[in-house]
Amino acid sequence: MKKIVTIVGARPQFVKAAVVSRALEKSGIEEVIVHTGQHYDPNMSALFFEEMQIPLPKYNLEISNLSHGAMTGRMLEEIEKILIAEMPELVLVYGDTNSTLAGALAASKLHIPVGHVEAGLRSFNNLMPEEINRVLTDRIASVLFVPTTTAMENLRKEGFENFDCQVINCGDVMQDAALFYAGISDQHSTIMAQLNLENAPFCLATLHRQENTDDPKKLKNIFDALNEINRTTRIVLPIHPRTRKIMTEAGIHPSFELIDPVGYLDMIQLLKNCRTVLTDSGGLQKESYFFKKYCLTLRDETEWIELVQNGYNLLAGNDPSKILEAYLELLSKASDFSGNLYGDGHASEIIAEYLANL
């Protein structure tokens, strides 16, 4: 039986790993899950494993709340020990976090092949730590599982056909998750009743990117815009613990209620029922599309450029006037989500089949 070590540490990775882990089990692959602990809040970690029925991690490193360098270094050290003990045929990493890069580096130093799920994405902004993580991980990966034709083109332009690696356009595993968990969410989530949202229009917002949260002026600008929108349509914002702490220190006081982080099933219900989405999250931009909602992205660029090109996503940065202008534009859009940008919902099966035949 083939053995694969999976490295996860943040909310989007739990979602992606859930559907891939299920496909790996069906393919007869032994999977050892390592949770770095990068997201340490119970609602952002333990809850996801429970409600999404992901196999519990064999290892939990509990590494969080450190600088980028310290966090990545600690993860690299501890993951290396695990890989020496487990000796898998491949290490599977997801996305663009410090956990992603640490897992890929640890494996490559030990000459263990690396599989990168969600490869080929580019924001072309090297000030973003996520951009550095994804570019370096792609370069040392042995097999790149690519979600879109745009990502395939990015890798072609960077000369990946000249590197010793396999590039596979498998579609997006997040689409698999959205399709699988949508019905389960309807049965189990009570978030709409809890927040008294069943008969009230609302906008779903999230905010966690360091480019926004670490700059008090940018953060205040965004909340000024959200406060203005909240005057006519309620804002619902599950707040990242780190963002809440920074807001308190900066003296930022929103005019709407902040709620604790929610699990994936609750997030699906919020997405299904909201009026529109305002976020700086990469994953939520796609999830908005999956559930046929327009998205206003609180950044100047996005790695999901096809959403912008097809009119599903507007980039507004952190300027209050641009955010309000883009919000009004979204409200006037007609709902047309007939396209299919991210595959057919079988990405995880394609990944598992490839790994089973290594």
Residue whose pair of structure tokens reads 């994936």 in the numeric block: 264
User: What is the predicted pLDDT for the residue at 73?
Assistant: 96
Q: How many CA atoms lie within 13 A of 315 on its CB side?
A: 15
The span from the CA of 351 to the CA of 349, in Å, is: 5
CATH superfamily of 181-331: Glycogen Phosphorylase B; (3.40.50.2000)
CATH number for region 3-172+343-356: 3.40.50.2000
User: What is the predicted pLDDT for the residue at 351?
Assistant: 98
User: What is the predicted pLDDT for the residue at 43?
Assistant: 52
3-172+343-356 and 181-331 in the same fold? yes
- What residues are annotated to the active site? 208
User: What is the predicted pLDDT for the residue at 34?
Assistant: 96
Query: If the chain, 358 residues long, is cut into consecutive pieces of 10 residues, what is the mean pLDDT of each piece?
Result: 93 89 96 88 62 84 90 97 98 97 98 98 92 97 97 97 96 94 93 93 92 90 96 94 87 92 92 96 92 95 93 95 96 84 94 94
The span from the CA of 290 to the CA of 268, in Å, is: 10
Q: What is the DSSP string of 101-148?
A: HHHHHHHHHTT--EEEETTT-----TTSHHHHHHHHHHHH-SEEEE-S
pLDDT digits (tens, 9 = 90+) for 59-85: 999 998 889 999 999 999 999 999 999
User: What is the predicted pLDDT for the residue at 220?
Assistant: 94
For residue 157, the tally of other CB atoms under 10 A from its CB is: 9
Q: What is the dihedral of CA 62, 68, 73, 79, to 10 degrees?
A: 40
User: What is the predicted pLDDT for the residue at 288?
Assistant: 96
- CA 263 from chain centre, in angstroms, equals 13
Whole-model pTM? Answer: 0.87
User: What is the predicted pLDDT for the residue at 55?
Assistant: 78
pLDDT digits (tens, 9 = 90+) for 236-285: 999 988 888 899 899 999 999 899 989 889 999 999 999 999 999 988 99
User: What is the predicted pLDDT for the residue at 326?
Assistant: 96
Residue whose pair of structure tokens reads 């809890």 in the numeric block: 194
For residue 273, report the phi and psi dihedrals to the nearest 5 degrees. Answer: -110, -5
Domain boundaries, the chain: 3-172+343-356, 181-331
User: What is the predicted pLDDT for the residue at 46?
Assistant: 65
